[in-house]
Structure 1
Amino acid sequence: MAFKKEYQPKSNIYPINNYEYNLLKEFLTRKQRLGARREVLAHDLNVYFMKKFNLEKPHEKPYEFFEEIINLNSN
């Protein structure tokens, strides 16, 4: 007898607009080509989303944080 796991959609705790979504996608796509600016841009985006979502401190792993935001906002 197999148990069926009920699908429960993950709640989007990080809603973003289309501009922010496209910006994050573009950043993650081009991050390897940014050179020294990569860390500065990652920090700036991390602080921006920290303030937007009222988090107490920047996320420790910004790239994972950005991926989670993208995944939650993908249709």
Structure 2
Amino acid sequence: MKLSVQEPWNPLTIIEVHQIFSSMPIHWWIAGGWALDLHLNRITREHDDIDVLILRSEHLLLQKYLSVDWEGYKAFKGK
């Protein structure tokens, strides 16, 4: 599903992230604010997104498992 400029971006939920990534034979984990909340077992603040990290060496394998409708982004200097 590609989003047009007019459509708002909606992040996946933690459950959706788990469902998608747990079926892939790659190493992945949650980072950032959600990682802290999961560790503390409580939500400490509202989150705008979920940071999912993978090993750079597995990025081609990730691309094979995601449909062609996904778009990947690399965070650079917080953007």
Q: Which has the larger radius of gyration?
A: 1
Q: Same fold (TM over 0.5)?
A: no
Q: What TM-score results when the alignment is normalised by the length of structure 1?
A: 0.25
More helix by share: 1
TM-score for the superposition, normalised by structure 2: 0.24
